[in-house]
Amino acid sequence: MRAIRFALVVAFVWVAVGRGGEVRGQALADRVPADALLYAGWAGAEKLGPAYSESRLKGVMDASNLPQLLAELGPRVVRRVQLEQMLEGDAGVREMFEGVLGLGEAVWKKPVALYVGPLDYSGKAPMPKVAILCDAGKDAPRLAEAVTKLAARIPADAPVKVRAVVAAGDVLIVSNFAYPERIEETLGQRPQFVEALKHGRPSPAAVAYFDAEKVLNVASLAINMAGDAKTTQAWQRMLLTTGVAGVKRLLFTAGFDGRDWGTQAYVEAPQPRMGLLATLLEAKPVSDEVLRRAPQSSTWVAASCVDLAQLVGDVRSAVARIHPETGREVDAVFGDVNSALGIDFQKDLLAALGDQWLAFNSEQTGHGVLGLAVVHPLRDAAKAERSLLALQKHANAMMKGDGEDDPSEPIVQIETTKIGELTVHYLAVPALAPCWAVKDGTLYVAMFPQILVAATEVDGAAAARSVLANEGFAAARKRLGVEATAASVSYMDLPRLAPRGYQMLLALQRTGLGMADMYGLQTPGMVLPPLNKIVPHLTASAAATWVDDAGWHYRGVSPFPGADLLGGEQALITTAAPAAVAAGIPAAAAQARGQARAVQSLSNLRQIGVGALMYSNDNKGNLPPDLGATVKYLNNNAQVYVSPLRKDGSMMMMAPAPGAGADELAKWVNQNSDYVYTGGGGRKVTNLPTNPSEYILAYEKFELAKNGMVGVLYADGHAATVPVALVKQSLGMK
């Protein structure tokens, strides 16, 4: 049921743009505090206006049964869940779901904004400030009352207190903190936000903004305050080596582009750049020379500039600088590979490759993933071919193994054949024959020799017969405005690809609707319109990325949201790639936050160690009998005994109120601490079974392990992150 509800919500978001009003960008940014770490704004389905009424999206929506699906299926899901909950004895569930449905409807019809701010320390546990703002108009008081009733169902001892208020202008604000009535500086006034918006779509329907600089600053502050000198130095090395500190802000915008749908993304990373970031953002433009290798009849084209030799070299250097021991391990792996192959993998193979990559489908070669041809001009064709042959020889030897002694056992090998003047190397297995060949200084790769041969016959010198002469491709590239500067470019001729991709789209939608039908929700028999109703609204889809002194940019244009799925399975390559690049930076920031939490946890353990030592000094060298005995030495601070890796704050919500006595707090610590104490039993610091630097005095609960590691406190007072397996071994656990 959860999966179905989630799928329906996602579908509703997509369909919601199918209703009325004027475009309004940066929704409620003038009501959001400037300290926002994350902001997302939606203009509201009722505010999309003439842009929607003239769009291709409206044509598809009018021909489909998607509005009927949402109108009928949503309430059916709610009724189904209501029934299930009422059967379990929850009589108030009907009122709850009616409130949720009303709030959800307002959120999608009206301008809405999501605000995520810095940590709020006023509650039982530090929690990020979160608020949803909705310009609900006359419905605001009714919705506030519904949210208040929903919030009343939250347990009183929960760490989150949800409140709903109606602010000036009938703006509904739902937050987990006391939202300020007056904001000194709004996000809409913040120069960095205003500047970032200049790199997005004008009058967007949707905006997402992430302040990476603030997040990294918070992480750095936590590590500098809580970490020791070694940890702080390692963090600084990581920032300098990766260059991630050079990433300032991320922006995503989407909205109508004439009759089409446009998306833009921007990663603010101004010059000068350092470390790996400089390598990633120094891509050369895709050249017309490589694009000439795609025939004029191409229906799908993707080209990019990536220097694998430089990238691998810089990554190895970065790893060695951040963590020398890991760097030596990586070098050892490369050394083993080089010995096995008889070549230097990085210097002989990767350095011989070029930096321009092209993939395409065409009438000459075929369609879909199986018909894909990859073309790659080489820097040193002779060295690249020798290296690939060495790799092939080693692969054959490994696959052959002991099977040669038993004729009855099948043997998989990479075979070599001559097709005309071309030498083709292919994997001889059933169904597919992945293959490669080098011709005229260019590497060709395909799933079948027939497709590879067809790709080699494209005359790369004849621009008049290449995709550059394709009117659709030329118009799309011109519309993106990056003919000479694109670091990557993709193109899909959707009117020609749709007959193939439509079947995949039908299968995808039937998967979700079929599940709903199996749960008795009775979906319409036909939701998506027939192909002949969609084709009149199709145009080419195109996207490009480029890099300038300000940072990394992405722009895409398609007939309507989701249209790229009609491009077939290979469309997933170009659809997912920009998202993966843009998502990498928040992931790095998330990793930084995780590292900051781990450092804070070690700081907690070191403070516990100080408390234990102070207790020992006051008690003739005896270690504390339990963790609670250290409380009075640490200013009765319950937060020290709760790991920051417990993100939900579920432990601190049960802590005694500030000002509670030491005995009460000690009892709570012994029952609820996230750290397990092992020093009880009347032990003395001077009479431990092992060296104090090896004796585990306390450790983080295994359930909080991060990547199989937990924080450990040793009797000499130092703390370290240690694999769970080693902790258990040291403690004699299985």
| pLDDT tens, position by position, 110-149 | 899 999 998 877 766 678 899 999 998 888 888 888 888 8
Whether 558 and 426 map to the same domain: the answer is yes
Is the backbone of residue 678 left (phi > 0), alpha (psi -120 to 50) or beta?
A: alpha
What percentage of the chain has pLDDT greater than the value 90?
36
217 domain residue, yes or no = no
Does residue 79 have a pLDDT over 70?
no
Question: What does pTM read for this prediction?
Answer: 0.73
* Mean pLDDT of all residues in 310-318: 90
Whether 180 and 297 map to the same domain: the answer is no
**What is the DSSP secondary structure assignment for residue 348, as one 8-state letter?**
I
Beta bridge partners of 719: 713
Residue 331 in tokens: 């070098």
532 domain residue, yes or no = no
Q: Which pLDDT score, from 0 to 100, does residue 173 have?
A: 92
Closest CA to 349 of 313, 398, 401, 319: 313
Element (H, E) at 545: strand 541-548
Whether 158 and 243 map to the same domain: the answer is no
Asked if residue 727 lies in contact with residue 678, where contact means CB atoms within 8 angstroms, the answer is no
Whether 583 and 603 map to the same domain: the answer is no
Chain centre to alpha carbon of residue 560: 23
Domain endpoint, select from 554, 589, 624: 589
Write the pLDDT tens digit of every residue in 521-570.
Answer: 777 888 888 999 999 999 999 999 999 999 999 999 999 998 888 887 76
429 domain residue, yes or no = yes
* Mean pLDDT of all residues in 370-388: 94
Whole-number Å distance between alpha carbons of 479 and 544: 11
Whether 125 and 192 map to the same domain: the answer is yes
Domain endpoint, select from 530, 564, 589: 589
521 domain residue, yes or no = no
Q: Which pLDDT score, from 0 to 100, does residue 16 have?
A: 37
Write the pLDDT tens digit of every residue in 414-453.
Answer: 999 999 999 999 999 999 999 999 999 999 999 999 999 9
Whether 579 and 657 map to the same domain: the answer is no
Bridge-based pairing of strands 414-419 and 422-427 is antiparallel
CB atoms closer than 10 angstroms to residue 400: 12
555 domain residue, yes or no = yes
Whether 677 and 547 map to the same domain: the answer is no
475 domain residue, yes or no = yes
Whether 581 and 613 map to the same domain: the answer is no
Whole-number Å distance between alpha carbons of 37 and 594: 16
Residue 298 in tokens: 């191409």
Whether 635 and 493 map to the same domain: the answer is no
**What is the DSSP secondary structure assignment for residue 70, as one 8-state letter?**
H
Fill in the amino acid letter for 136. Answer: A
Asked if residue 223 lies in contact with residue 232, where contact means CB atoms within 8 angstroms, the answer is yes
- Alpha-carbon separation of residue 658 from 160, 373, 629, 652, 668 (angstroms): 17, 67, 18, 11, 13
Whole-number Å distance between alpha carbons of 728 and 494: 58
3-state secondary structure of 324: helix
Write the pLDDT tens digit of every residue in 211-244.
Answer: 999 988 888 887 777 667 777 888 888 888 888 9
Does residue 97 have a pLDDT over 50?
yes
Does residue 462 have a pLDDT over 60?
yes
Does residue 577 have a pLDDT over 70?
no
Whole-number Å distance between alpha carbons of 255 and 48: 9
Whether 443 and 583 map to the same domain: the answer is yes
Residues spanned by the domain of 115: 2-211
Is the backbone of residue 163 left (phi > 0), alpha (psi -120 to 50) or beta?
A: beta
450 domain residue, yes or no = yes
Q: Which pLDDT score, from 0 to 100, does residue 390 have?
A: 92
* Mean pLDDT of all residues in 380-384: 95
Write the pLDDT tens digit of every residue in 20-78.
Answer: 333 334 788 999 999 999 999 998 877 776 788 889 998 988 888 877 776 666 666 66
Whether 7 and 148 map to the same domain: the answer is yes
Whether 70 and 170 map to the same domain: the answer is yes
Domain endpoint, select from 196, 211, 226: 211
Q: Which pLDDT score, from 0 to 100, does residue 51 have?
A: 83
Asked if residue 521 lies in contact with residue 5, where contact means CB atoms within 8 angstroms, the answer is no
Does residue 4 have a pLDDT over 60?
no
Closest CA to 487 of 247, 302, 250, 698: 302
In the chain, the number of structural domains is 3
Write the pLDDT tens digit of every residue in 467-503.
Answer: 999 999 999 999 998 877 899 999 999 999 998 888 8
224 domain residue, yes or no = no
Write the pLDDT tens digit of every residue in 388-405.
Answer: 999 999 888 888 764 555
